[in-house]
Amino acid sequence: MPPTLAGIVGPLPDANQLAIDRTRMAYERTLLAWVRTATGLITFGFSIYKFFQLQHPAGAEGASQRLIGPREFAIGAICLGLAALVLATLEHSANLRSLRAQGARIPISLSAIFAGLISLFGIVGLLAAIFRQ
């Protein structure tokens, strides 16, 4: 009798585990899309801040009468990116907890670790924009 496919590659995976793995990978892709969006917002905010800082050095121009200047807009964009990243990471963690509650084998999320590192860099950029006049 010829060997079967299951005998060559080992036991076939459980259909439920495959469905859980597909769901987990969809959660990972979603978080990475939010990381990409948040990184764009943080980078855009910091670029606006540095561009106007180079265009108008400190003391070269009088006090602006605008409600929201380039610096405030930049800080807002950085904060928006950080908020999106934090909320997406919290949602991702809740989704993984719900999968684990069903008894699924879920490995450590590398995208969540990456989101945490991007958050740290965003916080450093935000602090630089706030405390450097």
pLDDT in tens, the chain (133 residues): 555 655 566 777 777 888 888 999 999 999 999 999 999 999 999 898 888 878 876 655 555 567 778 888 899 999 999 999 999 999 999 999 999 998 888 889 999 999 999 999 999 989 988 887 6
Domain tally for the chain?
1
Q: What is the pLDDT of residue 95?
A: 94
- Is residue 123 included in any domain, yes or no? yes
Q: How far apart are CA 24 and CA 30, in angstroms?
A: 10
- Is residue 6 included in any domain, yes or no? no
Q: What is the residue range of 94's domain?
A: 15-56+75-131
- Is residue 69 included in any domain, yes or no? no
Q: What is the pLDDT of residue 71?
A: 84
Q: What is the pLDDT of residue 13?
A: 74
Provide CB contacts within 8 A for 59, sequence distance 6+: none
- Is residue 67 included in any domain, yes or no? no
- Is residue 1 included in any domain, yes or no? no
